A and B are shown apart, each in its own frame.
Chain A
Amino acid sequence: MPVCSLCTEPAVVYQRYINRHLCGTHFTADVELRVADTIKTRQMIVPQDRVAVALSGGKDSTALLLLLQRLLPSWEDVRLIAITIDEGIAGYREETIQSAEQLTGRLGIEHHCISFTGLFGDSLDAFLTGRETQACSICGILRKKALVVGARQAGVTKIATGHNLDDEAQSVLMNVFRGDLPRLVRNSSVDSSGKFIPRIKPLSLISEKEIATYLMLNDAWSELPECPYTRYAMRREVRSMLSGFEYKHPGTMLHLMESKKKIERYCKGSVISESLRSCLECGDPCSGDLCQVCLLRQSLDR
């Protein structure tokens, strides 16, 4: 049986990209160290920050909340809260919301819940009738808005999301496939305009498999249903393709992220970077005359 490269315990993971075996204890420590390092290097959290974790109750946001809670004592005067968005997806969201409530209750973390019905007047299921193929883009726009509303109500200074390495690498490829260079180089982790709440992604260098492994080793794994709308998503195809590449060529996802950083540097200050304007309808920051939510509301006739 393979043993840990750092001790004599049985290995539970093999990190292919660096050819290393780790036992449960060393793997947990490794993940926590890498997340702490990402946060520190990129100055994601600073003293006096009030951080809202976007907690869906699924694996990534659950791992994020657990990790930030564990790292909390190492930061000076930082407070954590959790915000859950109830999009209104029948047969899916109920279970993950219950999981989010149980987790925040167990950790003693303040928990806010914002629903699409309360904020936009109807559930995602209702908005998507006849538009199922647009599910992820419609949901993404409304969910982002709901999160900002919740974050403003709670008075936070940062929004932390559970995007992992797989998500981030998929987004790089999808933006390239769409020819969307402005979105590829967009950086929402800092705000020099004072108009929006910075979003941080502390898990952006941890793979999806590592996150699932971390949860299992820390008794926080639960098998939850998959969103019924993912079958319409382009991301699903990209995910499968990229996962195949990563398996055959370990390090592919990290290399994609390095490519994105290089492109960001080349594009800094160029015309490709979008200038920030205010939505003529609601005043929210945006890049055109109207923000995406107001554009969407017009197209949905709401």
Chain B
Amino acid sequence: MRLILSDRDVRIFEHIPAPVEQILLEQGINPLEVIVSRNGKLLSEDTVIQASDEVRIIRIAHGG
């Protein structure tokens, strides 16, 4: 599964299927500080990600 981070860095995540929350925690990311999408659709933290998925992580910038 391809994981695209906010800084455009791409990582390959091997331990799948896995819920969004677990993937984020394994990357050291607090799920409350990001939003996750797949094919442009937002995902809840308990959505299970499959091997063929490409998931994008959007960091919520502070301020505004």
Residues of chain A whose beta carbon lies under 8 Å from any beta carbon of chain B: 1-2, 10-14, 16, 21, 24, 56-62, 96, 162, 207-209, 212-213, 216-217, 223-227, 230, 235-236, 239, 243-244, 246-247
For the complex formed, measure the closest distance between the CB of A69 and the CB atoms of chain B, giving whole angstroms. Answer: 17
Residues of chain B whose beta carbon lies under 8 Å from any beta carbon of chain A: 6, 30-33, 35, 37, 41-48, 58, 60-64
Assembly CA distance A58 to B60 (angstroms): 11
Chain B residues near A246 (CB, 8 Å)? 32
Chain B residues near A14 (CB, 8 Å)? 44-46
Known A-B contacts A12-B43, A62-B64; the reply to A216 vs B35 at CB < 8 A is yes
For the complex formed, measure the closest distance between the CB of B63 and the CB atoms of chain A, giving whole angstroms. Answer: 5
Assembly CA distance A57 to B61 (angstroms): 13
Chain A residues near B32 (CB, 8 Å)? 207, 209, 243, 246-247
Assembly CA distance A169 to B33 (angstroms): 15
Chain A residues near B45 (CB, 8 Å)? 14, 16
* The one of B30, B37, B41, B61 that contacts A223, using a Cβ cutoff of 8 Å: B61
Q: A230 and B46: CB pair below 8 A?
A: no
Assembly CA distance A7 to B62 (angstroms): 32
Q: Which residue of B lies closest to A1 (CB)?
A: B47
Assembly CA distance A2 to B42 (angstroms): 12
Q: B35 and A59: CB pair below 8 A?
A: no
Assembly CA distance A13 to B64 (angstroms): 22
